Amino acid sequence: MQPSLLRLIHPVFPRILLTCSLLLVALACSGCFATAIVGGGAVAGNSVMDERSLGSQLDDAGIASTIDVRLIAEKDMPSRWVSAEVIEGNVVLTGYLPKQEQIDRAVYICRHVRGVVSVKSEIRIGRPPTRELASDTLITTNVKRKLFNDKEISGFTVHVETVSGKVYLQGVVANALQRQRAATLAGEVVGVHSIVNLLHIKGKQ
């Protein structure tokens, strides 16, 4: 990953509380697309049916976001092929990595994230199937189309990548509302199962 992208990622996650506050507002909205995106998972409208407490859900989302940013920072590891799902501190890794050594490294990183209780790896050695890659390309195109057609946010400011239905949003936006708007639009695209919102708010450190 280029250093410029790392500079965007680093200041984003200390502001998880901002995203959490958006989640609380979203969950309070009856009938709305209640989605707050942090880390590798999306807490969507069915969050009200989750057996975990809201606090536990937010803790898990924070752990997932920390795992994502640490895996992305790893050199020589295609971490975007990896998805981390967290339930009450228990992490399950899925996806693909080319080498067993990379899988072992991913597990090691997860085990050293604060709040992690256990780590289970379901990562397969290899690359994502060609059909899956084609689907990801279509998802990326549809997310970009929504961003370009939206009046509140510019598609030029948001970079979109998709791996196995997992969408990564990166770039710089003007404010927190635009950051959340980008995630909401991405979540409306068919085939998207989770979003990693790495958007940086202009002027924030």
pLDDT in tens, 72-85: 999 889 988 888 88
Q: In what order do the strands lie in the sheet with 118-125?
A: 82-87, 90-97, 118-125
Identify the pLDDT of residue 205: 54
Say whether pLDDT at 42 is over 60. Answer: no
| φ and ψ at residue 173, rounded to 5 degrees | -120, 165
Cα distances (Å, whole numbers) of residue 81 to 13, 92, 118, 125: 20, 14, 21, 11
**Whole-number mean pLDDT of the chain?**
77
Same domain for 75 and 134? Answer: no
Q: What is the mean pLDDT of residues 39-55?
A: 50
Q: Among residues 99, 125, 151, which one ends one of the domains?
A: 125
Element (H, E) at 176: helix 176-187
Q: What is the mean pLDDT of residues 165-170?
A: 86
Q: How many domains does the chain have?
A: 2
Same domain for 35 and 99? Answer: yes
Identify the pLDDT of residue 16: 46
Say whether pLDDT at 50 is over 90. Answer: no
Q: What is the mean pLDDT of residues 35-51?
A: 40
Same domain for 21 and 94? Answer: yes
- The closest of 168, 4, 183 to 81, measured between CA atoms, is 168
For residue 52, name the pLDDT band (cuts at 50, 70, 90).
low
Same domain for 153 and 197? Answer: yes
Q: Which domain holds residue 148?
A: 130-201
CATH code of 155's domain: 3.30.1340.30
Same domain for 106 and 170? Answer: no
Say whether pLDDT at 192 is over 90. Answer: yes
Tokens standing for residue 29: 């909205």
Same domain for 76 and 23? Answer: yes
For residue 70, name the pLDDT band (cuts at 50, 70, 90).
very high
Identify the pLDDT of residue 186: 96
Same domain for 81 and 32? Answer: yes
Identify the pLDDT of residue 49: 40
Same domain for 106 and 172? Answer: no
First to last CA, the chain: 20
- The closest of 124, 92, 136, 129 to 110, measured between CA atoms, is 92
Same domain for 142 and 73? Answer: no
Q: pTM for this structure?
A: 0.56
Look at 86 and 170; give whichever has higher pLDDT: 86
- The closest of 197, 191, 205 to 62, measured between CA atoms, is 197
Same domain for 27 and 115? Answer: yes
CA distance 143 to 12: 21
Identify the pLDDT of residue 15: 37
Say whether pLDDT at 40 is over 60. Answer: no
Least confident of 21-35, 39-53, 118-132, 178-192: 21-35
Q: What is the mean pLDDT of residues 152-166?
A: 85
